[in-house]
Homo-oligomer: A and B are copies of this chain.
Amino acid sequence: MAPNAARRSESSRKAILAATAELCGENGYARLTIEAIAARAGVSKKTIYRWWPSKGAVVLELLDQTATIAIEPPDSGDLATDLRTLLTEVIGMLTPPETSPGIGLIAEALHDPDLARELRERLIRPRIATFKQRLRRAQDAGQLSPDADLDVALDLLYGPLYHRMVFHLGMPDPSYLDSLIAHTLRALTPPRH
């Protein structure tokens, strides 16, 4: 592609993702349409459909760009601090419930197997790998039991957010989050003698 066309493409792509974030924040995922995104971004519907098959796919890419923890896990030296950083970012993506693009995408994927597969393989699996990388480092440093199951660790730490999301019980506040992390670390660390 000629440099100018590539630059135009990239600026359209950014405008589409920005419009998607704005519209979802204003009206919620359920009322988001490709038409509205095209109008807000100043592009044609055809341009959007050239890159994405559905609004779900656009929102998936938006989330992939927004979540900063994809590649390198935080490592402050203190595991509890890093877990708080990771979980707080996810809480942010699930808040507020009425207009969160993340919750909208999750709801749609629950009855769309293709979108579900994309969500899992493209967005979630790489982040699970990042998370386990951080935990493995803690395990190597003796901060977690050598026999702690890191898949269980993932489920124990992230599960509460999704349990609370699906039953509309409210996201953890900072002190509840600290309690969740402290309990989970107790499950994963060797007893002190």
List A residues at the B interface (Cβ < 8 Å).
28-30, 97-98, 103-104, 106-111, 113, 116-117, 119-120, 124, 148-149, 151-156, 158-169, 176, 179-180, 183-184, 186-188, 191-192
**Residues in B neighbouring A167, C-beta threshold 8 A:** 119-120, 124
CB distance from A40 to the nearest CB of B (A): 21
> Which residue on chain B has the smallest CB distance to residue A145?
B186
Number of copies: 2
How far, in whole Å, are A124 and B166 apart by their CA atoms in the complex?
10
What are 29 A-B contacts with C-beta separation under 8 Å?
A28-B111, A29-B111, A30-B111, A97-B110, A104-B111, A107-B108, A110-B165, A119-B168, A120-B167, A124-B167, A149-B179, A149-B183, A152-B176, A152-B179, A152-B183, A155-B159, A155-B160, A155-B163, A156-B160, A156-B184, A158-B159, A158-B163, A159-B161, A159-B162, A159-B164, A162-B163, A162-B165, A183-B187, A183-B188
